[in-house]
Amino acid sequence: MDNLTLIGMVSIAISGITMAIGSIAPALGEGRAVASALAALAQQPDEANTITRTLFVSLAMIESTGIYCFVVSMILLFANPFWEYFLQQAGG
């Protein structure tokens, strides 16, 4: 097995791990945020607009973590900076 094959295998494995961890944590965070918002709405129905607005901003911020993990995963799969380096080393 040559170095280029090893880099490809490691990149694919790390990409999968990144997406697995990067999707579990935001999902748990979003579930907890929604549960807290629903509890707050049940206790203070007059503040529904403020709680809902804050909830949606919070959900967007939590979801950005999953999106960042997705972007890192796509970079590892399709725009891997190590590929060019190893191809140059193998050719030269």
The whole-angstrom separation of Cα 7 and Cα 81 is: 11
pLDDT attached to residue 31: 94
Within a domain: 9: no
Q: What is the residue-averaged pLDDT of the chain?
A: 88
pLDDT attached to residue 88: 81
Within a domain: 90: no
Can you give the CATH number for the domain in which 67 is found?
A: 1.20.20.10
pTM across the whole model:
0.70
Domain total in the chain? 1
What pLDDT digit, counting tens, does each position of 67-87 carry? 998 998 888 888 877 777 777
* Residue 38 structural domain: 15-80
What pLDDT digit, counting tens, does each position of 20-44 carry? 888 898 999 999 999 999 999 999 9
Within a domain: 47: yes
Radius of gyration of the chain measured on its C-alpha atoms? 21
Within a domain: 74: yes
Within a domain: 10: no
Amino acid at 45: P
Within a domain: 33: yes
Alpha helices in the chain (DSSP H): 3-43, 48-78, 81-91
Within a domain: 86: no
